[in-house]
Structure 1
Amino acid sequence: MFAGVAFLAIIFQLAIVVGFIVFAVKLLNRITDIAGSQKSIADSQVKLISLLSKKQTNQESVDS
């Protein structure tokens, strides 16, 4: 009887460890996705600022 209880306790502890590892991997993947999205947004903003700067430069040269 005690062997069965000990076996169940070991299985329960292993399940907790495996669950924690799965959670950590999923969290890491989600953080990586968010970081990629933030990088994409930053790149888009840099391109937008560059285009606006070129547009303003072109308008100033036409006005002169």
Structure 2
Amino acid sequence: MFAGVAFLAIIFQLAIVAAVIVFAVKLLNRITDIAGSQKSIAESQVQLITLLRKKQTTQESADS
């Protein structure tokens, strides 16, 4: 009787540990995806600023 209960308790604890590990891995993957997206956004903003700077330089040259 007690052996069955102890076995179920061990299985339950192992299931909780496995669930925590799976959750941590999924969270880490999601954070990695978000970091990649943020990097891509930053690179796009750098390109936009570069283009705007070139446009402004061109307009200043044309105005002179």
TM range (shorter): over 0.9
2:10: which partner in 1?
A: 10
TM-score, reference length from structure 2: 0.98
After superposing on structure 2, the runs of 4+ consecutive aligned residues of structure 1 that deviate more than 2 Å are none
1:48: which partner in 2?
A: 48
Unaligned runs of 5+ in 2: none
> How big is the shift at 1:31?
0.4
Q: Which amino acid aligns with 1:36?
A: G
2:37: which partner in 1?
A: 37
Q: SS at the partner of 2:50?
A: helix
Identity of matched residues, %: 86
> How big is the shift at 1:42?
0.3
Q: Which amino acid aligns with 1:13?
A: Q
CA RMSD of aligned residues (A): 0.4
Give the count of matched residue pairs.
Answer: 64
